[in-house]
Chain A
Amino acid sequence: MSHDDSHEHHEENFVSKYIFSTDHKVIGIQYALTAMLFLLVGFSLMLLMRWQLAYSGKPVPIIGGILEKMFGADALGGAVTQQLYNSFGAMHGTIMVFLAIVPLAVGAFGNYVVPLQIGAVDMAFPRLNMMSYWVYFVGGVTMLGSFFVKGGAAKSGWTSYAPLSVVDAAGPGQTLWLVGMVFLITSSLLGAVNFLVTIIQLRTKGLTFMRLPFFVWVQFVTAFLLLLAFPPLEAAGFMQLMDRVAGTSFFMPSGLLISGQPHAATGGGSPILWQHLFWFLAHPEVYVLILPALGIVAEIIANNTRKPLWGYRSMVFSLLFLGFMSFIVWAHHMFLTDMGTAISSFFQATTMIISIPSVVIITALIISLWGGSIRFNVPMLFALSFLPMFGIGGLTGLPLALSAADVHLHDTLYVIGHFHYVVAPGTIFAMFAGIYYWFPKVTGRRMSEFMGHLHFWPSLVCMNMIFGPMMIQGIAGVSRRLWDGGLIYEHAAPVLKWNAIMSHAAFGLALAQLPFIINLFWSIKHGKKAADNEWEATTLEWSAAASPPLAHGNFETVPEVHRAAYEYSVPGHERDYLPQNEPE
């Protein structure tokens, strides 16, 4: 099916090539840049919150004046007030989950890498793909814009629990949050359909399911999670929107009093219903955050140990089981509601069960290291550190899964420490690993190793200094979402000293990102030139040219697959890797 080149060069102007492009590689890069920008925004909100936690009520240095200009009375005197703190808290979670990590893990990596890894010319529906990005973009702008409306952005936590979220009448912030979510959900749904069709239909000749790179498998399961878990939140979003603007009371209980006054539009609804609908999405969402990270780490570990992944089949079946189970664990977020012990016991049991496939995957990755002559390059450092960090995050979740222990730990900083270990030094490290790993493919150049080390080591230390002490505070009983970090509570006094330490570690973490940002942009032009198959890898994306041209069509000739994904160090061969597309 070799077509003449004129087909792809016709009338490509700047706008159609780089802005409204339908090419999966351009869209992947667009997702990557936008998501990384949101990652930075979400992180900055957290830095301001950490300043407030360490130096309660004191004006933020240097940028305090700018804050006051931007947020007016909510940042009076340049300090982070309670109102601002609440909106930062809600928006940090929202931005990080829905605007940064998922678009980066799925939109960016998935879009760029999946069609290349399966030997496809593009995604199955290129125009739908472009639409996914732009709908996501509009959702992001809506969310950011909500900071600047009257009353500021949403303040009811990223979970938007009713009735608080419904009665918040300070301004349209929460309403905009809901509208923004509808956009983001729509974008994810379009993307999920596209990924599934692409993976099922566009695998090249010889690429059977059991020969798929593990990264493609994780994207496959992730897309199913997005496809089936997101719609209930969309439904819940519509209902909360109705509660806020049309006076319905789907989530508003009878007899609700606010400041001693009966609430006008109250009756018959159920706040717990919102929690069910929200967590029905948001628990699978946790796996949407973590699965792509596992996929990236698996690719990098196989490549840098120069060995096939240990237990590829067990990993795949664990992954499928994990995806299925993730739909029936949601109410472990709700042990402290009135569900009753029977239902709690069910969700406690399923939650314990779901840890089994996660442990199988992590164990397989750790065993994969055994006996390999490991190349310790920067992507591998991030991938290796992912294993213990995700391990800590996962294991600290077990006490939360037990409904009895959860009574003590629920809504404390312990929970925050636990899931941040999974997502920050876990998923985000895997994202960094992926960026360092696939950068040569995207740009044709390598990122600087030295700067990479300068990024990695301080980040690793700072991450642990932030999230470790959080668990100590949490076990001591300090609640999350406290504006003063626990100052007014006597029981928090012995662990308050950690607040300043954690905050300074967070500022250190910010500094540690500078080498990364500089490295990222500097290397595009000045990095060491990379070969097509820079890491001597086996998967198909490396058989395409380095920095493949940004237009439809990825390969000079459509590759054909002859073997499993990770044929490294096959005995009796000259080189220590056998690419999937190399004929026998």
Chain B
Amino acid sequence: MSVEIPYITKPRPDTGLTNGKLGVWLFLASEVMLFGAFFSSYAYLRAGNTWDDFAFGRPGIEIAADAHADEHADEHAEHATDDHHGDAHGEATAHGGHEGLSTPLQPSIPMATFNTIVLIASSVTVVLAWASLLLKNFGRFRLYWGITIAFAFVFLVVKYFEYCGKFAHGFYPKTSPLLGLYFLMTFLHVIHVIGGIIVNGYLLGPGSKMWKTDPERFTQRIEVAGLYWHFVDLVWIFLFPILYLLSG
């Protein structure tokens, strides 16, 4: 009885694909639909609303009394949760909702720009790593693959400061639906980055033993993991303009 599953390392001639590569493409198709649903929801809620809408009058949201209030915003935010629970709503109405928040609700464009560069660079190193394997240069592969993982960590660190900046001003997912979607979508992306770190870390560490026993299959795995990593990068390329650049 034959028990081996074919086309794990060698592509099937008529489809030109290995099982793993087809599998990851299909998985990515479903991921497109997942993020697509979030982008659609964002478009649906964004239509006719600005980021600041509905944020007014919520506990913890400080309304700027004058143009120079920025310096004090941090201190205010700390007390706001306790003090303004009851009367915040009235205050917002009094300001007519046009004065603007003392600190912008919008996410930080400089941080996101930096992260964009980091992720694009990591997509380059992924390809270099894979190409090194094709050239049978395992040492080079380890270097580039390691850099890719390091970039992913850099991305997470920047993200941490970005989130902390929001929390420090009392901005949480519940502050406004659009801010909520910003948190939800970027956090889902962060989970994908972490997933990538785990998989790529495994392939750098214990998983790399396969290079000795079955280099062809290992190269295949790196390619599949690389496809996933490009997708994570690609999602960010959509998140960046839509959530950051167009958040005004």
Contact = CB atoms under 8 A, between A and B. Distances in A.
Interface of A: 1-3, 5, 7-8, 120-122, 124-126, 189, 192-194, 196-197, 200-202, 227-232, 234-236, 238-239, 242, 246-250, 254, 265, 267-270, 273, 276-277, 280, 551-558
Given A242-B173, A248-B174, A7 B37 contact: no
Contact of B1 (A2, A126, A249): A2
B206 interface: no
B19 A125 contact: yes
Contact of A555 (B2, B53, B174): B2
A201 B37 contact: no
Contacts of A551: 3
B180 interface: yes
A197 B1 contact: no
Contact of A197 (B26, B180, B181): B26
B44 A273 contact: yes
A268 B36 contact: no
5 pairs of A and B residues whose beta carbons are closest in the complex: A268-B54, A232-B37, A231-B34, A235-B37, A247-B174
A553 B1 contact: yes
Contact of A270 (B26, B37, B45): B45
A229 B37 CA distance: 10
A340 B37 CA distance: 22
A189 B23 CA distance: 11
Contacts of A122: 3, 5
Question: Which of A8, A201, A249 has its CB near the most chain B CB atoms (within 10 A)?
Answer: A201
Contacts of A3: 1-4
Contacts of A124: 5, 19, 23
A381 to B, nearest CB: 36
B2 A1 contact: yes
A124 B23 CA distance: 9
A254 B54 contact: yes
B125 to A, nearest CB: 27
Contact of A268 (B4, B30, B177): B177
A242 B180 contact: yes
Determine chain B's interface SS by DSSP, over half rule: helix
A565 to B, nearest CB: 19
Contacts of A269: 45, 177
Contact of B34 (A2, A126, A201, A232): A232
B19 A250 contact: no
A273 B33 contact: no
Contact of B7 (A201, A234, A270, A554): A201
Interface residues of B, number: 42
B49 interface: yes
A192 B30 contact: yes
A122 B6 CA distance: 10
A106 to B, nearest CB: 15
Nearest to A265: B174
Given A8-B3, A276-B44, 13 more contacts: A3-B2, A3-B3, A121-B2, A192-B30, A202-B19, A246-B180, A247-B173, A248-B173, A248-B180, A249-B54, A268-B53, A268-B178, A553-B3
Contacts of B5: 120-122, 124, 126, 202
A237 to B, nearest CB: 10
B93 to A, nearest CB: 13
A239 B30 contact: no
A280 B41 CA distance: 12
Contacts of A189: 27, 30
Contacts of A254: 54
A230 B27 CA distance: 12
Interface in B1-51: 1-7, 12, 15, 17, 19, 22-23, 26-27, 29-31, 33-38, 40-41, 44-45, 49
Contact of A235 (B3, B6, B41, B53): B41
Contacts of B2: 1-3, 121, 553, 555, 557-558
Contact of B188 (A193, A238, A270, A276): A238
